[in-house]
Amino acid sequence: MTPSQYFDAVIPTVDMTIRSELYHTNEFNFAVAVILSAQATDKKVNEVTPALFRVAPTSQKMLDLGIDGLKEHIKVISFFNNKAKNIIALAEKLKSENMTDTFPEKYHSRDALMKLPGIGQKTANVVCNVLWGAPNIGVDTHVFRNAHRYGWVDYSDNTPEKVEAKLLKKIPQKYHSIVNHVMVLHGRYVCKALRPNCENCAAAKICKFRNKI
């Protein structure tokens, strides 16, 4: 199954009107939600963010809430101590540049975002891709697993960075901005880690792994 065959089959089955299932109300708190989602499910993050963003939707309000208040909101999320430190550092940096709820244009690239506290490559990719349609491929657990499953990358591609580099070469450019969205939703609900739902998969006719996992 080539990447083009896969995307042409699966795209029509994915809701392209939402670009992320992470709850957010502005650019700043989308970045916060992505930081919280590292090694945590979107579902878990969405359990805490509506209440958090009601009291702290912007960088200034996040600073007003403070690190202890933030920890109280996110204490059910893995690595919450570290994530709280990163989020407060990010809020401080952005507040110092008079940014409250949107990123100035100078940050609208992966490399620029990665200079901000708490934002690594995966977070930067997802933020750029979802907020500004940039052709970055955020490699989360679903993208990583299924890129290997479909044979688009090999065993030596053992980090998200290597998988992203390989996918950028293998997948035609016209799909780059939607790779993460399509592979995450298809991987989360259909081509799951255990017992993929091959009977209801749009790619079943072209997938050699159908009913073999």
92, 63 contact by CB (below 8 A): yes
Query: For the chain, how many helices (H) and strands (E)?
Result: 10, 0
171, 11 contact by CB (below 8 A): no
Binding mask 31-70 for ligand SF4 (x = CB under 6 A): ----------------------------------------
Nearer of residues 67 and 204 to ligand SF4, judged by Cβ: 204
Q: Is 140 a catalytic residue?
A: yes
Q: Is 122 a catalytic residue?
A: yes
**40-to-33, 92, 154 alpha-carbon distances in Å:** 11, 24, 25
Q: Phi first, then psi: give them for residue 24, nearest 5 degrees.
A: -160, 160
Query: Considering the complex, what minimum distance in angstroms separates the CB of residue 172 from ligand SF4?
Result: 18
From the list 57-65, 106-114, 124-132, 190-198, the region that binds ligand SF4 by CB under 6 A is: 190-198
**132-to-105, 127, 136, 137 alpha-carbon distances in Å:** 10, 8, 10, 13
Give buried/exposed letters for 133-165 (b at 16+ CB in 10 A, else e): ebbbbbbbebbbbbbebbebbeeebeebeebbe
Nearer of residues 106 and 195 to ligand SF4, judged by Cβ: 195
From the list 17-25, 28-36, 103-111, 202-210, the region that binds ligand SF4 by CB under 6 A is: 202-210
* Residue 207 binds ligand SF4 (CB under 6 A): yes
- Tokens representing 167 are 């996918």
From the list 16-24, 37-45, 130-138, 196-204, the region that binds ligand SF4 by CB under 6 A is: 196-204
Catalytic annotation, pick one of 61, 71, 83, 122: 122
Could you list the active site residues? 122, 140
**Binding footprint of ligand SF4 on the chain (CB under 6 A):** 190-191, 196-198, 201, 203-204, 207, 209-210, 213
